[in-house]
Amino acid sequence: MDPYQRQRPFGSAGEGGSSGGSDMPRERDDNKKKKKLLHRDIERQRRQEMATLFASLRTHLPLQYVKGKRAVSDHVNGAVNFIKDTETRIKELSARREELSRETCQTYKSSPDPARTGSELGKSYQASVMVQPCVSGFEVAVSSSSSGPEALPLSRVLEALQEQGLEVISSLTTRVNERLMHTIQVEVNSFGCLDLAWLQQKLVEELIL
């Protein structure tokens, strides 16, 4: 008997075994590639969503918070500063509104003739103008009677500000105890060339005196 004939079956079996074993590494490689592709797609989608969110964030921020800033981190810091400044402004406006309301109520309570009507009482109080700095510029608070010749409509106040070359960005009018209270926000680029005390006196002369 040829001795090589007995070794052939073992050789063929070995070949079959090596073929079966080689399939497992190939499957592992395929799984790794699929995971990499999936991870890459997820990361690409995440970046696209973040880019969209940051673009939306920039559109909601005032120009002074993002001007000259291109980095995403700068925009995030600008958003944080804008939120803090807005919260501070809201607190200041709320405190000012409460102060004006208290002053008006105290004046009515101290009136010697409670039989007078609300409009008559309103006429007895002279209008007032206050100018104070705020986050993006300064704020003009005007209080006057709600009727009669002493009343100061919002359009008249806005016209006086426009005559000074000022840009109004928001205005709010409320009525408290027959009194009109106008709160107007004006945007300025620099306070260096603007004297708020002079502006307040100028508005008093044009609107009240």
Encode the chain (209 residues) as per-residue pLDDT tens digits. Answer: 555 555 555 444 444 444 555 677 787 888 888 888 999 999 999 999 988 888 888 887 777 887 777 788 888 888 888 888 888 878 887 787 777 777 766 655 555 454 444 444 444 457 888 888 877 778 898 888 877 777 888 888 888 888 888 888 888 888 877 788 889 988 876 555 677 888 888 888 888 76
d(CA 73, CA 50): 13
How is residue 108 written in tokens? 């009515």
pLDDT of residue 14: 47
Is the whole-model pTM more than 0.75?
Answer: no
pLDDT of residue 127: 81
Q: What angle in degrees, to the nearest 10, is found between the helix axes of 196-207 and 154-163?
A: 130
Using a 10 angstrom Cβ sphere, with 0-12 exposed, 13-18 middle and 19 or more buried, the burial of residue 180 is: buried
pLDDT of residue 123: 46
pLDDT of residue 118: 46
Domain boundary assignment for the chain: 1-60, 73-207
pLDDT of residue 115: 45
pLDDT of residue 109: 57
Condensed to tens digits (0 to 9), the pLDDT of residues 72-90 reads 888 888 888 888 888 887 8
d(CA 193, CA 101): 33
pLDDT of residue 126: 74
